[in-house]
A and B are shown apart, each in its own frame.
Chain A
Amino acid sequence: MTWLPETAPGGTDFERTLALRPELRADLEAFERLLWESGSVDPALLELCRLRIAQLLGWEPEVRRCGPAEIAESKRAALETWRRSGAFTPVERACLELAEGFVLDPHGVSEADVGAVAAHLEPAAVVLLVEALAFFDGFTRFRAILGVQD
């Protein structure tokens, strides 16, 4: 569990930690719900990006955690080496490329990288995807640095 000396009631370590700021927790949960439930982007595609970001950042509890959407075990197993795998569709590959650039080198993300995603998704969906990448990147780091386990 988190190394913080106190938490507040909640079902998971993440909820107990964020519950120290209950208004912020409620607003962040509402934001995250919109990401998963808007219908703009397939939740399975978001889950692939969430997992890949957790892998890149190296926070194992987040890699092990199952998000709101299911993905096939074979795909989960191949995710670390997705570039060499035939298991991923063109839209998944474009989104994973963007996710990696977003986390590791945002200034290196090119117009072509964004265009590759936009070739498959409407502008509103591209915006949702990018906001989801920001949320996953930011709050995986939040979990990691505070030692949040689940």
Chain B
Amino acid sequence: MATSPRLAPPTFSGPPPADPAQRGVLAHQPALLRAFLRCYGTLWSHGVLDAATKEVARIRNARVTDCRYCRNVRFAVARDAGLDESQVARIDEGFADSSLSERHKTVIRWADAFLVEPCGRHEELRAALLRELDAAEIVELTAGLALFMGFSKIAVVLGQEPEDMPTTVIPTPVRPE
């Protein structure tokens, strides 16, 4: 697994930005980084799908894609909504027999389908998803999975994963103006 950066971050003529995201390797493309952070802020802070359900999908992606950073981060809004570490621990291979809600189990199956077999028919899973979420929520969840997976793979491919990282609750992404 890559843990050493494959590209150096940009150099700054003055003091580097305080925000770690703004001084990392993605800062080579500042406009693109701002646009990504805006997408992510909209997803998390202006969404129609509840944060705990999105966080379940994000953590499932982190485990399947195996991104060390994404696996160890928790968003505060989901923690505040009740998704504690005991529930996060159930987002593993034994999730189907766990005490997670049917909604969260269905979202985990959807995340797995997205990551492993996106072209499959998944007729039963679609029906189950439609029992739990409305169409706008499904779009938001699926767009979220696209962003979660993309961010995880970027971290892996560019060697941006930390060597070691404790579980860390971080502020919920907000949409910059």
Contacts and interface: CB of A to CB of B under 8 A. Distances in A.
Interface of A: 3-7, 17-18, 20-21, 23-24, 27-28, 30-31, 34-35, 38, 40, 57-59, 98, 101-102, 106-107, 109, 111, 114-115, 118, 123-124, 126-128, 130-131, 133-135, 137-142, 144-146
Nearest to B32: A34
Interface of B: 1-2, 4, 6-8, 10, 25-26, 28-29, 31-32, 35-36, 38-39, 42-43, 46-48, 65-66, 113-115, 118-120, 122, 126, 130, 135-136, 138-140, 142-143, 145-147, 149-154, 156-159, 175
A57 B143 contact: no
Given A34-B31, A127-B25, A17 B10 contact: no
A127 B6 contact: no
A124 B139 contact: no
B139 A146 contact: yes
Interface SS, A side: helix
Between A5, A31, A127, A131, the greatest number of chain B beta carbons within 10 A of the residue's beta carbon is seen for A127
B-side binding surface: helix, strand, loop or mixed? Answer: helix
B116 to A, nearest CB: 10
B163 to A, nearest CB: 15
Residue picked from B4, B25, B118, B140, most chain A C-beta under 10 Å: B118
Nearest to A6: B135
A133 B119 CA distance: 18
Given A28-B39, A30-B35, A135 B150 contact: yes
Query: Which residue of A4, A57, A58, A102 has the most chain B CB atoms within 10 A of its CB atom?
Result: A4
